[in-house]
Structure 1
Amino acid sequence: MPRGKSPKLFVFDLDDTIWRPEMYLLNGGAPFTKDKKTGRVRDRTGEEVTLYPAAREALHELATSKEWQGSLVCYASRCHETDWAHTCMDLLDVGDGLNVASCFNAGGVFQSGSKQGHFQVLASQHGVDFEDMIFFDNERWNITEVAKMGVTCVYTPNGLKKGQFEKGLQDHASRK
């Protein structure tokens, strides 16, 4: 895809978009542990937190492909268990020695309320126009609200699945 048509800022929701389960649904919570042999991340009761395979692939590609050098990648979440989320970002691997946290080179925003507020903060922090952003989220109302701002939005009702990342890029390119 030609760089001129690519998003400048990639934004991902966390809970049930890149991983499952949602943090508030965990039975145990912190502390989280990572099995050194399998790489599996579990909360204190043994419940596993897993990345959706397509999310792992997309984050890995954004972090390692020359095509995306200079692109900004961040999260926008209403997760109330922010310490848990940060720990999971540190523990969950995407491959080649990278974890989720390292893929979010532009950080992110945790706050309550409409995701429009998240995008106001991100636009201000990074100086990127809404039409140069792409957003992946599992909740329809977030997609509807953020799309009104001019952001390319990709609805991921059951987590990021194969083909949705690429389709989002195509949709973004066709809008330019």
Structure 2
Amino acid sequence: MGKSEHSFPKIVVFDLDYTLWPCWCDTHISPPISRSKTENAIVDRYGSEMAFYNDVPAIIAHLKQSGIKVAAASRTCAPDVAKKMLSLLHIGGTRAIDYFDVLEIYPGSKITHFNFIQKQTGIEYRDMLFFDDETRNKEVEHRLGVKFMFVTEGVTWKLYHQAIEDWRGHKQQCNA
């Protein structure tokens, strides 16, 4: 096997809404929010519960255990709600927000988010993998060289494994 078959991105970046959890935090969640007493979920003012998609906590834990940085890039109009949700949801007994090395959560272009992620980490764009549910955000691949992975029903193990393979092919093309 060649070296590229064992390589991994240095950072994996996730959009939040409809990528890590099944809602838009700026329209579907009504603050104040609190942690559910029975589930690894949050509850909003009206009692609506929201949690990560099933595979998300284990995927994020796996990335951190593998020494891969984790970041969020979200253009939400409710950054405080998104950060509060990440603080209340847990991964392996630890606040999810503590698993993230970089948080770029504010309205605006994903190009801007990635420029700041690159500046904060020093990681080259070709060493980044990005999961997002909006095809318009594929511009980070075309303009910056970040490998974009389209998410249709939340990040799953199947999609994660496919993304790693796609990233390896993308990286080989970048290095060619």
- Alpha carbons of 1:55 and 1:39: their partners in 2 closer, same or farther (altered >3 Å)? closer
The runs of 5 or more residues in structure 2 that have no matched partner are none
Instruction: Give 1:98's match in structure 2, choosing from 81, 94, 97.
Output: 94
CA contact (8 A) 1:62 1:103 kept: no
Instruction: Give 1:88's match in structure 2, choosing from 77, 82, 85.
Output: 85
In the alignment, the residues of structure 2 paired with residue 40 and residue 160 of structure 1 have an alpha-carbon distance, to the nearest angstrom, of: 17
Residue 79 of structure 2 corresponds to residue 57 of structure 1: no
In structure 2, the residue matched to 1:72 is 69
Residue 127 of structure 2 corresponds to residue 125 of structure 1: no
Residue 20 of structure 2 corresponds to residue 18 of structure 1: yes
Q: State the TM-score, normalized to the length of structure 2.
A: 0.87
In the alignment, the residues of structure 2 paired with residue 102 and residue 86 of structure 1 have an alpha-carbon distance, to the nearest angstrom, of: 11
CA contact (8 A) 1:30 1:44 kept: yes
CA contact (8 A) 2:36 2:49 kept: no
In the alignment, the residues of structure 2 paired with residue 142 and residue 56 of structure 1 have an alpha-carbon distance, to the nearest angstrom, of: 23
In structure 2, the residue matched to 1:113 is 108
In the alignment, the residues of structure 2 paired with residue 72 and residue 38 of structure 1 have an alpha-carbon distance, to the nearest angstrom, of: 27
- Alpha carbons of 1:141 and 1:31: their partners in 2 closer, same or farther (altered >3 Å)? same
CA RMSD in angstroms comes to 1.9
The runs of 5 or more residues in structure 1 that have no matched partner are none
In structure 2, the residue matched to 1:147 is 141
Instruction: Give me the identity figure in percent.
Output: 29
- Name the count of aligned residue pairs: 168
Letter in 2 for 1:46: G
Flag as ranges the 4+ runs of structure 1 deviating above 4 A: 1-4
Between 7-16 and 29-38, report the one with greater CA deviation.
Answer: 29-38
Q: State the TM-score, normalized to the length of structure 1.
A: 0.87
